[in-house]
Amino acid sequence: MFHFKTSLLAGLMASTLAVASVQAATPDNMLVVAQNIDDIVTIDPASAYEFSSGEYVANTYDTLVRYDAADTTVLAPALATEWRVDADNKTVTFTLREGVTFHSGNPLRGEDVVGSWKRVVSLDKAPAFILTQLGWTPDNIEQMVTAEGNTVTVRYEGDFAPSFVLNVLAARPASIVDMQTVMANEVDGDMGHAWMNQNSAGTGPFALQSYRPAEILTLQANPDYYQGAPAMERVVIQHNPEGASQRLLLENGDVDMAKNLDPNQIAGLDGVDGVTVETYPQAAVHWVSFNQKVDTLTDPAVWEAARYLVDYDGMASSLLKGQMKVHQAFWPDGFPGALTDTPFSYDPAKAQQILAEAGVDLPINVTLDVISAPPFTDMAQSLQASFAEGGINLEIVAGTGAQVITKYRARTHEAMLLYWGPDFMDPHSNAKAFAFNADNADDKYASTTTWRNAWMPPAEMNQKTMAALAEQDAEARLAMYRELQQETQAKAPFVIMFQAIKQVAMRDAVTGFVNGATSDYVFYRLVEKE
Amino acid sequence: MALSEENRKGRDRASLPPWVKTTALTMGSIAVTMLGLLFVTFIIGRVMPIDPVLAIVGERASQSTYDAVYLELGLDKPLVVQFAYYIWDVLHLDFGTSLLNARPVSEDIARVFPATLELATLGIIIGVVIGVPLGVIAAVRKGSWTDQVARVVALVGYSMPIFWLGLMGLLIFYGILGWVGGPGRVGIFYVDVVPSVTGLILVDAALDGNWDVFKNAFSHIILPASLLGYFSLAYISRMTRSFMLEQLSAEYITTARVKGMSEWDVVWKHAFKNIRVQLVTVIALSYAGLLEGSVLTEIIFSWPGIGSYITTALLSADMNAVLGGTVVVGLIFILLNIFSDLLYKVFDPRAK
């Protein structure tokens, strides 16, 4: 028995020693990121349409022009060194950069540009609509986009401002892929789609080393990157869905960056040695909308009163602290064309007056659909309390993201609390969503906030949206978008409340991380460790 | 003539070896159970208010993209036809493609199930090795401080939220003491270092002879496995105690003691021997529960197991993944039941 006890004790001590000292700082040439990446459906740029896959594409692929890591607010040359716009003939001519190679070592060719875009249009996956706006179809794409030597000529159909066309070509699905490698891995006519879900074939600063869904994604530096090899030889993105775990990993030095911490977890890092928190404005705007198929929500007085029934400052300074800031127009602050006025504040008395003067029957009982996750449920509860002050009773209906979207798409909701991020960095992306509806019929589906709330904007608003899209003068165009935002604030059944803010906690040795307004502008190539 | 033929058929049936009949009955039972399980899961998936097409194409895809995927998924066909197609594919070992990551479900399950298997197995070992002796001692020393401790241990195990306990465990043993590895199956420097043969990292590291990886993987698994083990031992120890108390009050135990048999022999060779059959059921059920995947434990410890896989899939209406996972979980229950039955026969000669 004594022998057994001694052995047991020795075994326990050995186990303790074996598992001790498991912590270690990450190497200087490796960036380890704790992040929830279970939103990734695919990593093929022709189909990638989630936040995390957007970050991946931004770091492994390039476009002809792009908002680069050096300044994410300026459209800069990338795989094209120069371009010439002929608005009359609806043509843009690009000159390709010399000496660029793909991760495979294959040189960049004009044929890769044509093939990459044809691939997106032909596969017709989720983000394809961004390119097909230019009038491209699988049948005409080879006539619309042609290559000769290092010159690529792009034609488009429609009255578009040149900046709009360039913004479309800077978007994620316009990424250029190594067509020789991709098509060599084609299976059953899939244009290499299955292979691209396991591999990268770009020119970007990083190449995919390994990817296991909801587990790990590892990037390897591209030493031949045309803007110079990244300092980090590897970027390891470790899936970690729980913020508290991410915080522990960061504090212990096992990761360099934690990306999904909530405000309480961020606050808990205050004063922690070796950890810093960076804040990045985001492009997504958060709003409440009213479905116009619901009779009690069709009176414009209800929309106007609702704008005074939101405790903007209260929410921004408490439950949304560090996550959102007050913003009341559809185009986000920090981007050309944004309207930064905040004309509305929490004023229940004014709301009551508006409703009384309009003769609205109170109370109004309405359901509010919301994604069942923080901070949305907290926001819904705040809205429930403040709307009740005006006689509008919100019944909160919480569901998963998929449930809420299903209902929203079918236009069977009443009120909706949701957010919208632009598909690409052009004001039209949001103007089309909030100020334009071509056809409000049930069978004319459009993925816009207007159609989904069954709201038909006034004819002049529709016309102005399309006029802004075609406006050739850049400043005049931006002025038109500012007017459209003002009109939306006055006339639409939407209450735009906040603009998102991203907070990323990182070891203070990490510098150079770039987190632009959307996931398409998250860059690791300038990261260094001091 | 007819009577004679009937008799002959009866003799033929009677002449079938018992194991053939048993096997046939078992297989039939498995087939019916699995079919029922799949049907119910399939129907639940289809009546959920979630559009699986949106899970694939996103909320902003054009109507043409939406329609193409709708047809590709066969959602235009009647439910019965969809189910029949699914069963046909399953019979050909094709579980379809996950809507959420565009990969074959069979590949996904082959990736996530070993993670759960490894964690659950270590968890149940901890639960049994500590829980059974604890239950026996608590029964033998009923009312003593040992019994009270066992009771408190079990009570805490039943009532403490696993999410909270997991986070506290991480904070203390990983964050403060640094005794164990953090979330994830293995440290970042050891990812993909040993070739994946079984998918069980401890086994693969041992097979490869890479003891650094083994130690690191052990440091990562020991905390979540202990957590699951603790919740198992709470149940196992209480059931063991209850079974043992029943046996210890039986007349044959009194007789054994009167005959002067040592207390060790009375407890372990007589009383414990007679609770083995019941205990096997309890342990098998606990193990099956762990093998389904403990979703919260997997989330806290970033453990890529089948529990979180099925849950994520269900919330997004990824029915191929849900059904594939259901097949695996169903099979686990059935296999563990069969295994329990076999052990009954080993432990109880009357069951042979």
Q: pLDDT digit of tens for each residue in chain A (530 aa)?
A: 334 443 443 444 344 434 444 445 789 999 999 999 988 888 999 999 888 999 999 999 999 999 999 998 889 999 999 999 998 889 999 999 999 999 999 999 999 999 999 999 999 888 999 999 999 999 999 999 999 999 999 999 988 999 999 999 999 999 999 999 999 999 989 999 999 999 999 999 999 999 998 889 999 999 999 999 999 999 999 999 889 999 999 999 999 999 999 888 999 999 999 999 999 999 999 999 999 999 999 999 999 999 999 999 999 999 898 899 999 999 999 888 999 999 999 999 999 999 999 999 999 999 999 998 888 999 999 999 999 999 999 999 998 887 888 899 899 999 999 999 898 889 999 999 999 999 999 989 888 999 999 999 999 999 999 999 999 898 999 999 999 999 999 999 999 999 999 999 999 999 999 999 899 999 999 999 98
- Put simply, the answer to whether A254 touches B63 (Cβ < 8 Å) is no
Nearest to A124 among B65, B299, B301 (CB): B65
What is the greatest pairwise CA distance in chain A?
Answer: 95
CATH of domain B107-351: 1.10.3720.10
Beta strands A75-77; A65-67: pairing state: antiparallel
A456: left (phi over 0), alpha (psi -120 to 50) or beta: beta
State whether A249 and B182 contact (CB < 8 Å): yes
The verdict on B180 touching A (C-beta cutoff 8 Å) is yes
Q: Are A528 and A231 in contact (CB under 8 A)?
A: yes
Q: Which of B58, B179, B219 sits opposite A49 (nearest CB)?
A: B58
- Predicted TM-score of the model (pTM): 0.84
With beta carbons under 8 A apart, name residues in chain A contacting B174. 248, 252
Q: Tell me the chain B residues in contact with residue A248 when contact means C-beta distances shorter than 8 Å.
A: 170-171, 174-175, 182-183
Q: What is the secondary structure of A200-252 as a DSSP string?
A: --S-SSEEEEEEETTTEEEEEE-TT-TT---S-SEEEEEE---HHHHHHHHHT
B101 touches chain A (CB under 8 A): yes
What pLDDT shows up at residue A110? 96
Decide if B316 and A49 are in contact by the 8 Å CB cutoff: no
Closest C-alpha among B120, B162, B170 to residue B293: B120
The conformation of residue A174, written as its DSSP 8-state character, comes to: G
Asked if A485 and A318 count as a contact pair (C-beta separation under 8 A), the reply is no
Helices B306-315 and B319-347, packing angle to 10 deg = 140
What is the per-residue pLDDT for B319? 82
- Supply the pLDDT for residue A217: 95
Q: Which residues contact A120 (CB under 8 A, 6 or more apart)?
A: A45, A46, A127, A128, A131, A173, A174
Which pLDDT score, from 0 to 100, does residue B4 have?
56
Nearest-Cα residue of chain A relative to residue B223: A19
Sequence-ordered alpha helix ranges (H) in A367-471: 376-388, 401-409, 427-435, 449-452, 459-470
A-contacting residues in B 282-341 (Cβ below 8 Å): 299-302, 304, 308-309, 312, 315-317
Tokens for B116?
A: 């759960």
Write the DSSP symbol of residue A521: G
User: B178 vs A124: CB contact, 8 Å cut-off?
Assistant: no
B58–A50 C-beta distance less than 8 A: yes
CB-CB contact of B316 with A402 (8 Å): yes
As a whole number of angstroms, the distance between CA A119 and CA A177 comes to 10
What pLDDT does residue A15 have? 43
CB A513 within 8 A of CB A507: no
For residue A45, say if its preceding peptide bond is cis, omega within 30 degrees of 0. no
Q: Measured between alpha carbons, how far is A55 from B285 in angstroms, rounded to an integer?
A: 43
Q: B301: which chain A residues are within 8 Å (Cβ-Cβ)?
A: 245
Partners of residue A42 in chain B, C-beta under 8 Å? 101-102
Q: Which residues of chain A are within 8 Å of residue B56 when distances are taken between CB atoms? A: 41, 126
Domains and CATH numbers, chain A: 40-198 (3.90.76.10), 281-502 (3.10.105.10)
Question: Which of B162, B146, B310, B140 is CA-nearest to residue B241?
Answer: B140
Q: What is the 3-state secondary structure (H, E, C) of chain B?
A: CHHHHHHHHHHHHHHCCHHHHHHHHHHHHHHHHHHHHHHHHHHHHHHCCCCHHHHHHCCCCCHHHHHHHHHHCCCCCCHHHHHHHHHHHHHCCCCCECCCCCCEHHHHHHHHHHHHHHHHHHHHHHHHHHHHHHHHHHHHCCCCHHHHHHHHHHHHHHHCCHHHHHHHHHHHHHHHCCCCCCCCCCCHHHCCCCCCCCCCHHHHHHHHCCHHHHHHHHHHHHHHHHHHHHHHHHHHHHHHHHHHHHHHCCHHHHHHHHCCCCHHHHHHHHHHHHHHHHHHHHHHHHHHHHHCCCHHHHHHCCCCCHHHHHHHHHHCCCHHHHHHHHHHHHHHHHHHHHHHHHHHHHHCHHHC
The closest alpha carbon to B233, from B151, B177, B170, B344, belongs to B151
Please indicate whether, in this complex, the C-beta atoms of B65 and A32 are within 8 angstroms of each other.
Answer: no
Contact A64, A92 (CB under 8 A): no
Q: Are A124 and B64 within 8 A, CB to CB?
A: yes
Q: What is the DSSP string of A1-21?
A: -HHHHHHHHHHHHHHHHHHSS
At position B259, the amino acid (one-letter code) is K
Q: Please state, in angstroms and rounded to a whole number, the distance separating the CA atoms of residues A398 and A379.
A: 12
pLDDT in the model for residue A452: 95
> Which one of A42, A248, A447 has the shortest CB-CB distance to B59?
A447
Name A77's bridge partners.
A65
CB pairs under 8 A between A and B: 164
Subunit contact B182:A408, Cβ cutoff 8 A? no
- The DSSP code for A106 is P
Q: Does B189 touch chain A (CB under 8 A)?
A: yes
Low-confidence spans in chain B with pLDDT less than 70: 1-14, 293, 351-352
Kindly report whether the peptide bond that precedes residue A363 is cis, defined as omega within 30 degrees of 0.
Answer: yes
Residues from chain A that touch B54, judged by Cβ atoms under 8 A, are: 402, 405-406, 409
Angle between helices B201-208 and B211-248 (to 10 degrees): 130
Q: Does B159 touch chain A (CB under 8 A)?
A: no
Of A239, A245, A403, the CB nearest to B300: A245
Q: What is the Cα–Cα distance from A452 to A477, expressed in whole angstroms?
A: 26
Contacts of A251 in chain B (CB under 8 A): 175
- Do the chains contact at B167 and A244, CB–CB below 8 Å? yes
Is residue A61 a contact partner of residue A45, using CB atoms and an 8 Å limit? yes
Burial class (CB in 10 A: 0-12, 13-18, 19+), B197: exposed
- Scanning the structure block, which residue is given the tokens 């602050």? A333
Please report how many Cα atoms fall inside a 13 Å half-sphere around the Cα of residue B279, on the Cβ side: 26
SS3 A498: strand
- Specify the 3-state DSSP secondary structure of A369: strand
Location of each CATH 1.10.3720.10 domain in chain B: 107-351
Q: How far away is chain A from the Cα of B305, in angstroms, using its nearest Cα? A: 10
Out of B56, B100, B222, the one facing A19 most closely (by C-beta) is B222
